[in-house]
A and B are shown apart, each in its own frame.
Chain A
Amino acid sequence: RKEVEQDPGPFNVPEGATVAFNCTYSNSASQSFFWYRQDCRKEPKLLMSVYSSGNEDGRFTAQLNRASQYISLLIRDSKLSDSATYLCVVNFNFNKFYFGSGTKLNVKP
């Protein structure tokens, strides 16, 4: 079983739509959680850390459910520039960061 699992998509949505991705993780001892964004043929870049109480950054909201071992990312008012692959990342044992395979988002005009 993979440490981190994501729906690969693609999610095809119109501009202005709200879209949500989920990610599940297998290790209950996981300590910290992140969403990274990766554009085609580019390196992953941090989108946001995910905190236990949930957190928001502009149009992006991240939630953590430790009991069910999943993380979510909600994007409101989608922009064309949001088109990318979104990687879920889970950290445990301090130095181990595990990546999901990514969820591809296509925002259409």
Chain B
Amino acid sequence: GAGVSQTPSNKVTEKGKYVELRCDPISGHTALYWYRQSLGQGPEFLIYFQGTGAADDSGLPNDRFFAVRPEGSVSTLKIQRTERGDSAVYLCASSPELQGYPSGANVLTFGAGSRLTVL
């Protein structure tokens, strides 16, 4: 697609429920990132995919959070047993991760985000 697409744009759920958030990156972008942004804060890194594999999941806050990218394109962020503290905007970004280019060329392009509210 022309840009990064995220669904749903808004999700309201109850504490303890399971949630899935979907990201469709820019076509051909091999790198995919999930970030979480709380009010008044910058985006906080969660996980990074290179192709199908999670190359760095050091930002996932606990084992209730999991993400997959089975075919190296669309990714799903899964949150189990949601808590009120999980309420935030979940941002997905993709990057071409061009090898051999100046590092300033490897920029992140974000989707519009999924706003999660846990009641």
Q: Which A residues have a C-beta under 8 Å from some C-beta of B?
A: 4, 8, 31-34, 42-46, 49-51, 87, 89, 91, 94-102
Is B100 at the interface (CB under 8 A from chain A)? no
CB distance B103 to A96 under 8 Å? no
A33 to B23, CA, bound (A): 25
Write out the residue numbers on chain B whose beta carbons fall within 8 Å of the beta carbon of A96: 45, 48, 56
User: What is the chain B residue whose CB lies nearest that of A95?
Assistant: B48
Task: Flag if B40 contacts A101 (CB, 8 Å).
Answer: yes
Q: Which 8 A-B pairs have the closest CB atoms?
A: A99-B42, A49-B104, A32-B103, A43-B110, A101-B42, A99-B43, A31-B103, A32-B104
- With A43-B111, A102-B42 in contact, is A95–B104 under 8 Å at CB? no
Residues of B near any A CB (own CB < 8 A): 31, 33, 35, 40-45, 48, 50, 55-56, 91, 97, 102-113
Main secondary structure of the interface of B (DSSP, over half): mixed
Q: Is the CB of A95 within 8 A of B103?
A: no
Report B26 CB to chain A, min CB distance, Å: 13
Q: Is the CB of B103 within 8 A of A91?
A: yes
Interface pair A95/B42, CB less than 8 Å apart: no
Interchain CA distance A20-B91 in the complex, whole Å? 27
Q: Are B107 and A34 in contact (CB under 8 A)?
A: yes
Known A43-B111, A44-B110: A97·B104 in contact at CB below 8 Å: no
Tell whether, in the assembled complex, residue A43 and residue B107 are in contact, meaning their CB atoms are under 8 Å apart.
Answer: no
Contact A32 B40 (CB under 8 A): no
Name the contact of A51 in the complex, choosing from B45, B104, B109 (C-beta under 8 A): B104
Residues of B with C-beta under 8 A to A31: 103
Write out the residue numbers on chain B whose beta carbons fall within 8 Å of the beta carbon of A33.
Answer: 104
